[in-house]
Amino acid sequence: MTPIGILGTGSFLPEQVVTNEEIARSTGVTDEWIVRKTGIRERRRADDRHATSDLAARAARRALDQAGIRPEDVAYVVVATSTPDHPQPATASIVQHLIGAVDAAAFDVNAVCSGFVYAMTVAERMLRGADEGRHALVIGADIYSRILDYSDRKTAILFGDGAGAVVLGPVPEGRGVLETSLLTRGDQYRLISVPAGGSRLPATSRTVEEGSHFFRMDGRGVREFVQENLPTALRDLLVKAEVHPSEVAHFVPHQANGVMLADVWPHLGLPDATLHLALDRYANTGSASVPITLDLAHREGALADGDLVLLAGFGGGMTVGATLLRWAPTRQARHELHEREFAAPIG
C-alpha cells in the first residue's frame, strides 16, 4: 500500500494574549505559583465572535497552503475537538464549508486531548484503503476558555485556545506513518469531565447555577494515569515498529503541564530525542496542542528528511494515543517563524 504521511502543517493562535497575572487575579494565586506548578507563562484566548470552527478553518488553510493542496482535492476533513461549535452538527461540517472542501466527507472525533492522534489514525487508515492520490485534512481545535471556571485554580491556569492541522497524503517509500497505538481506560473516565450538557445531565437552570457545564479535573489522578500509561504505551509502540528508542529524533507530546512532562520525560526512554514544548507561550490547547507544537517545530526548521518523529496525546476518557512517523520534506517548509503569522486576527 502507498505510504501515508504529512504533506503540510498549519496552526492558528488567537490574537489576544492572557498573562498569568490576569489568571492569578481570579484564582487567588500568583504568576510565580503558576509558573512553578505548570511552566506556563501566557496563553491565547479566542475572540467572543469566533467558535472552534473558525480557528480550525484558519489552521486548515495554512496546512493546505504549505502542502500545495486545493481544498476541493481533500477527500476527508476530520476535526478533533472536545469543545465543538454545537452538540450537532459536527464542527468538521462547518469547517468543510468555510474552507471550500466541497468533495470531502467531514466528521468529528472526540478523544479529548488525545483527539488529534486518534483523528490522524482514522484518516491515515482511510487513505490507505482509498484510491491512490487522495488527501485528508486532520485538525485539532479547542476553545477551552468557554468551559473554564475562572475561580478554580486547578484548571483555569492550564488552558488556552488554538488550532493545528496537517494534510495527509502519499509520501515516498520508507516515509510517513510507521505505527500507531491507541488505548482507553474507560474505568477512569471520571478523572476529566464536563458533567452537564449531554444526555445524562441535560442543561437546566439548576445545572447552570451549580456550574456543572465547567471543565473538571482530578489533577493528581491525571498525573498518576500519565505516569503509569504513557511510558508503557510508547515502549510498546516502538517494539511494534521495530525501532530502537535511541533512533527517535523528535518527541511532540500533548502540552498538558510542563512540570508533569518534566517528571515523566526521564521515564520515556528516548535518550536522543528532542522534547518539543510550546506550552510556556500557549498553555494546554487540548486536542490542538500536538499539531500546534508540530507546526512550530516544522516551521522553525527542526524536522529533517528521514527523522523519526513520535507524537503522543493523553487525556480524558482516559485515553492515550501515539504515532511514529518518518518525516518527509514538505513542499513549502518555512524555516523562519513569524509570530504575526500566528497572531493575525481571523479574516
Give one DSSP letter per residue of 33-58, joined into a string: HHHHHH---EEEE--TT--HHHHHHH
How many angstroms separate the CA atoms of 294 and 83, rounded?
Answer: 21
Q: How far apart are CA 314 and CA 316, in angstroms?
A: 7
257 has catalytic annotation: no
Q: In what order do the strands lie in the sheet with 74-80?
A: 4-12, 161-170, 135-143, 74-80, 105-109
Backbone dihedral angles phi then psi of residue 292, each to the nearest 5 degrees: -65, -50
Among residues 20, 113, 257, 276, the one annotated as catalytic is 113
Catalytic residue among 254, 257, 276, 298: 254
**Is position 229 annotated as part of the catalytic site?**
no
Distance CA 223, CA 221 (A): 5
- Where helices occur in the chain by DSSP H, the ranges are 20-27, 31-38, 52-67, 91-99, 115-128, 153-156, 205-209, 219-241, 258-264, 279-282, 289-299, 339-343
- The residue from 20, 276, 284, 298 that is catalytic is 284
In the annotation, is 113 catalytic? yes
Q: How far apart are CA 158 and CA 160, in angstroms?
A: 7
Cβ-proximal residues to 90 (8 Å cutoff; 6+ apart), any chain: 79, 84, 106, 107, 108
Q: What does 269-286 look like in DSSP terms, one character per residue?
A: --TTPEEP--HHHH-B-G
The residues that are catalytic are 113, 254, 284
